[in-house]
Amino acid sequence: MSRTLMPRDNRGQVAHLYNDPFQSLETRMNQLFRGVFETMGADSGLGSYPVDVDEDDEKITIEAEVPGFKRNEIDVNVENGVLTIKAERAAKDVANGKKRHMSERRFTRVQRAFTLPRTVDGSEVDASLHDGILTLTLRKTEESKPRKIEIRGGQES
């Protein structure tokens, strides 16, 4: 039977011989921030949502998931080269004479902002909402579109 000089805890892991103050501080900081980030979306009412951004020669397309939001609860605007998408839904009130036993649906606000490249014409933005997907189409400026340059002079091969 072999013996070791390193003490082990009840899981068989090598036990620490001293308390590392930095490890303790790191553990506490992780716990603190984990709690803050876990509640940001739910309790503060401000959250984010997933988006896809695609580009071709003519346009940039942004598809944002905004499930459960109606068209009049979504605001899209362009200001100083920044495209902002905000969605806000108020909590449902309880009708008179009814008791609410549980309420998980509450005031919700989500927002994303995108700095537009100079190749995009911010005055031409098309928006549509279908099945919880907001689709924004931003046309590119004529100057930014690829074009073929004709070569003059010389001999043709």
Q: 46-95+106-144 has which fold?
A: Immunoglobulin-like (2.60.40)
Query: pTM of the prediction?
Result: 0.60
At residue 76, the pLDDT reads: 95
Q: Provide CB contacts within 8 A for 62, sequence distance 6+.
A: 51, 52, 53, 83, 85, 114, 134, 135, 136, 138
For 136, the 3-state DSSP assignment is strand
At residue 87, the pLDDT reads: 92
At residue 33, the pLDDT reads: 60
The percent of the chain in helix, strand and coil, each rounded to the nearest 5, is 20, 35, 45
Q: Which helix (H) or strand (E) holds 75?
A: strand 74-79
β-strand partners of 85: 76, 112
* In the chain, domain spans: 46-95+106-144
pLDDT tens, residue order, the chain (157 aa): 445 555 556 666 555 555 556 566 666 666 666 554 443 344 344 567 889 999 998 899 999 999 889 999 999 999 988 999 999 988 777 777 788 777 777 778 889 998 888 888 888 899 999 999 999 999 988 777 777 888 888 777 6
